[in-house]
Amino acid sequence: MRIKIYLLVSMMVMCFAFAKAQRGIRVGYVDMEYILESVPEYQKASEQLEQRMQGWKTEIEKMESEIGQMETSLKNERVLLTKELIEEREEEITIKRDALNEYQQKRFGAKGDFIIQKQQLIQPVQDQVFNEMQKIGEQKKYDMILERSETTMLYSDDRHDLSDDVLKAIGRTGKREDREERNQARNAPAEAAADEPYMSVQEADDRQEKVAAKEAIVDEREAARAEKYRLRDSIKEAKAREYKERRDAIIKERQRRKDSVLAARKAARENKGNNNPPGGE
Kindly report, residue by residue over 11-31, the tens digit of the pLDDT: 544 544 444 444 568 888 888
pLDDT per position as a tens digit, 31-51: 888 888 888 878 888 888 899
Q: Is the pTM of this model over 0.75?
A: no
Distance CA 94, CA 255 (A): 31
144 has which bridge partners?
A: 27
Distance CA 5, CA 8 (A): 5
Please name the helix (run of DSSP H) or strand (run of DSSP E) that holds residue 109, with its range, or none: none
| Phi, psi of 161, rounded to the nearest 5 degrees | -80, 115
146 has which bridge partners?
A: 29
Model pLDDT, residue 190: 46
Per domain, the residue ranges of the chain are 26-192
Rounded alpha-carbon distances, angstroms, from residue 66 to 32, 57, 61, 266:
42, 14, 9, 44
161 has which bridge partners?
A: 29
Please report, in angstroms and rounded to a whole number, the separation of the first and last CA atoms in the chain: 151
